[in-house]
Chain A
Amino acid sequence: MDAQIKKQLQITATKVRMGIIESTFNAKSGHPGGSLSIADILTYLYMNRMNVEPTNPALESRDRFVLSKGHTAPALYSVLAQRGFFPVEELKNLRKIGSRLQGHPDMLKVPGVDMSTGSLGLGFSAACGMALSGKISNAPYRVYAVLGDGEIAEGIVWEAAMFAAHYQLDNLCAVIDNNGLQIDGNIRDVMSSYPIDEKFRAFGWNVIVIDAHDFEQIEDAFNEAECKVGQPTMLIQKSIKGKGVSFMENDVSWHGRAPNEAEYKIAMADLEKILEKLM
C-alpha cells in the first residue's frame, strides 16, 4: 500500500472516530466502544474499496454494505458523512427525535445505508440474500457485512453461514469484529464463540485473520477475498474496543455508554493528538 494512501486512510479514520465521539456525546447515549473498533475497516471499505456514489446512493451496481452489529451505527454514520453521503454536521443529531440518524441504521431514512439492522444476526442473513441475488443476475457488485464477536452467539448467524457456503457466495465478504468484549463482559466468560476461525472453516468459509487497525493487512485480506472462487470469505479482525480513545480502550463499560462533557474533551484531545501526528 502506498504510504500516502495509508496516511490518508489513517487521517480519515481518525476523523471518523471524532464523529463517533461527537455523535454519542450529543446523543447522550449510543455505543462508542464497538464503533471505534470498526472505524478503520469501515474507512477502508468506503474510501478505498467499495464502488458507491454518494450522489446516487441507490446505484444498482453499487457494492453493498450491511452493518449486522447495528448498534455501532455511529461508526457507519460517521464514515458515510466522511464519504459525502450527508453533512458531517448532521452527526450531532444522532438519536434525536426528527433525525434520520436513528439509534440503529434505517435504510429508508439514511442515504448510503443498504439494510436496516439492529437486531443481532439478522443483517448477516440479509447480506447473504443480497449476495445470492447478485449471483443470480451475474451482477458486478460485492457484498460486505460486519458482525460482532458477541453477535455470533445468535443461531441465525450459523444458519446464514451454512447457507452462504452452500450457495458458494464468493461475492460475499463478512468481517467479525473480534474485540473480545460484549455488554456483560469478556466473551470468554459470557458465551465463548472461540475458536471463531475453526468454526467458520468447518462451515466451509475461507477464513483470514487480521489486525483490525493495520490498513495493509486489511487491504491484503480484501484482495484475497476477491480472488477466492466458490467460497465466501470471513475476515476475523483482532481489534481493540474503544480504539483511539485512551480511557475507552479495552474497557467494556464503554460498550453502550456515551461520554460526558469532561470525558468528551479528553476523547477529542486524544484524537486531535493522533491527527496532529499524521498531518
Chain B
Amino acid sequence: MERIATRDSYGEALCELGLKRPDMIVLDADLAEATKTVKFKNKFPERFFNCGIQEANMMGVAAGIAATGRLVFASSFAMFAAGRPYEVIRNCIGYPHLNVKIGATHAGISVGEDGASHQCNEDIAIMRTIPGMTVINPSDAVEAKAAVLAMENHYGPVYFRFGRLAVPVINKGPDYKFEIGKGIALTEGDDVAIVATGLMVAQALEAYEMLRDKGVNARIINIHTIKPLDEEIILRAARETNKIITVEEHSTIGGLGSAVAELLAEKELAPAFAQVGIKDEFGVSGPALELLKKYGLCAENIVNTALQICAERTCVSL
C-alpha cells in the first residue's frame, strides 16, 4: 500500500492554495524542511517568512498579519505549535477569531526517536478548549490535502495536526469528499463502532478486516474534524451498535475519546465505551512503528479491545 506522510501533502497543498489565495502568507519557525513549508517557500519566496526559533512570536505575528485581512499559515512541530505558544494562540488568534491556520506537524508518539520532549500527545486537548478553534486531524495524505485546500473559503482559526511518519493512503477513489466537521463512516457494521482519527484510521480499517474474520462486523468511523465534532454520526453509531471504541494517537485525556465521552454523557447515552490512546504517561525514544505497537496504537489492540467490549456487553445483556 502506498505510504505518504501527511506533512508532505500539507506542503503540496500550501502551494496549490497559494495560487488560489494570492494574499496568503506562510510562516515557519526554523523547521521549514521538516514541516514541508519549504515547498511553499520555494514556490512563493516573497510570501514566506521564517521567524527563527521563536514560536510564541510567530503566533503573534500571524495574528497581526491576519488582522490586516490576509490568510496566514503558521507551522512548527505540534509540541512547539500548540504547546509552547498556547496562550498566544488563545489570546491573539482565538479571542479575536482571526484567520490563522496552524499547521502542526510531527504530532503524537510517531515522532519516534526524538523521544518524549517532542512527542506531543496533548495538542488536541489544549487546542479544542479554545472557543471558536477548529481542530482537524487528517487520516492520510489525501485528506490532509483536501482539508488544507478547504481553507480557500473558510474563515477563522484552525489547528491542523499532521504527522512525520509515512502512513497508508486510505482515502482513494473519486467519491472521497472532505467536509469540515463531517465524519465519514468507512464501513457499515452494527456490532461495534470504532471511532478513529488521524493515522489510527488506517489501523482501525485493518482491525475491521481482522474482526470480520472473527465474525464481528465493525463500523469504522473517520473523525477528521475533532472540533466541531460530528455529533450526528457518533450518536447514530451509539444507538445502532451500543458499543463505542475511540482510537487516537493522543492522550486519552482531552482528545477524541474525551470529546466523544462528553457528547455521549450529555445526550444520556451509555453505550459500552473504551478508549485506545496514550494513557497518562510520557513516551520514549524508538522507531515510530515500534512505538505505536508499544503503546497499543495498532490494529491488534483495537481488535482485542473490540472483542473484550463485545464479550462484556453480551454478558451484561444476558
Contact = CB atoms under 8 A, between A and B. Distances in A.
B62 interface: yes
B91 A115 contact: no
Interface string A138-173: 010000000000000001100110110011000000
Contacts of A129: 60-68
B69 interface: yes
B67 A114 contact: yes
A184 interface: no
A163 B51 contact: yes
Interface string A47-82: 000000000000010001010000000000000000
A91 B83 CA distance: 38
B8 to A, nearest CB: 27
B61 A128 contact: yes
Contacts of B313: none
A136 B60 CA distance: 17
Nearest to B96: A116
Say what secondary structure dominates the interface of chain A: helix
Given A122-B88, A122-B91, A130-B67, A156 B96 contact: no
Interface string B67-107: 11110000000000000000110011001110000000000
B97 A108 contact: yes
A64 B63 CA distance: 14
Contacts of B91: 116, 118-119, 122
Contacts of B65: 129-130, 132-133
Nearest to A107: B96
Contacts of A118: 91
A268 interface: no
Given A119-B87, A130-B67, A125 B61 contact: yes
A124 interface: yes
A60 B23 CA distance: 14
Contact of B67 (A107, A119, A159): A107
Contacts, number: 101
Contacts of B61: 125-126, 128-129, 132, 160, 163
B245 interface: no
Contacts of A123: 60
B52 A162 contact: yes
B299 to A, nearest CB: 43
Given A116-B95, A132-B49, A163-B51, A156 B64 contact: no
A163 to B, nearest CB: 6
A132 B96 contact: no
Say what secondary structure dominates the interface of chain B: helix
B88 A136 contact: no
A163 B30 CA distance: 13
A124 B60 contact: yes
Contacts of A163: 51-52, 54, 57, 61
B25 A133 contact: yes
Contacts of B133: none
A108 B64 contact: no
A174 interface: no
B2 interface: no
A139 B66 CA distance: 15
B56 A155 contact: yes
A122 B60 contact: yes
A115 B52 contact: no
B70 A156 contact: no
B21 interface: no
A112 to B, nearest CB: 14
Contacts of B97: 108
A118 B88 CA distance: 11
Interface string A99-122: 000000011100000111011001
A132 B61 CA distance: 8
A126 B46 contact: no
A126 B65 CA distance: 7
A126 B47 contact: no
- Among A124, A131, A159, the one with the most B-chain Cβ atoms within 10 Å of its Cβ is A159
A127 interface: yes
Contacts of B70: 133
A37 B180 CA distance: 48
22 contacts: A108-B96, A114-B67, A115-B63, A115-B67, A115-B96, A122-B88, A125-B57, A125-B60, A125-B88, A128-B61, A128-B64, A129-B67, A130-B64, A131-B64, A133-B68, A134-B68, A136-B47, A156-B88, A159-B54, A160-B57, A160-B61, A162-B54
Nearest 5 pairs between A and B by C-beta?
A: A129-B64, A125-B60, A159-B57, A126-B64, A159-B54
Interface of B: 25, 46-47, 49, 51-52, 54, 56-57, 59-70, 87-88, 91-92, 95-97
